[in-house]
Amino acid sequence: EQDVPYADIGAQGYLVKPISRSTLIERMHRLAPDARSVLLVDDDPEARQLFRRMLASAEKEYIVLDADNGETALSLLRERHPDLLLLDLIMPNVDGFAVLEEKAEDARIRDIPVIIISAKDPQRQPIVSKTLTLTRQQGLSARDLMLSLESITHALKPRFGGPAQLETLAASEASE
């Protein structure tokens, strides 16, 4: 079987949306054959409704808990301790990555199996990361580094506060 994307941060399965009912049920059965309760975490209400219908039509009766954000998911993991977690990665505020990180640190919920359900195919999409690394075979001069930083700054919008204010030199300073 192929390596599971994000296994290093706690995922045992990864499914790319759209997901067929048979694929979902088969993967759940393979990962957690005795699962009775499932926590479904996705910020999209239509996706949650679709997954609920898929699970309701399965031969096995599942108790489905759902959450529309990572904070609620963590609370439900601790309070209800479901047998399986279906987790979307990209959500506002507390995302799936943060859920996996906090889950790994909590011995009470660490062993709950996780299947990531995502619209992003990790084989064809950039990996979401907290870091950015810039390398160049010939090395980077100070000028190269400054040009790269300028490009990155313009490409990436701030995720907090108001829009960034660009500083410009006054005409008298620019001519000096």
Q: List the pLDDT tens digit at each of the 176 positions of the chain.
A: 457 878 888 899 999 888 999 999 999 999 999 999 999 999 999 999 999 999 999 999 999 999 999 999 999 999 999 999 999 998 888 999 999 999 999 999 999 999 999 887 555 444 455 556 666 778 878 888 888 888 877 777 665 555 555 555 555 444 44
* Residue 30: predicted pLDDT: 95
Q: How far is 31 from 41, CA to CA, in rounded Å?
A: 18
Contact 85, 41 (CB under 8 A): yes
* Residue 1: predicted pLDDT: 44
The two tokens of residue 73 are 């998911």
* Residue 141: predicted pLDDT: 84
What type of residue sits at position 64?
V
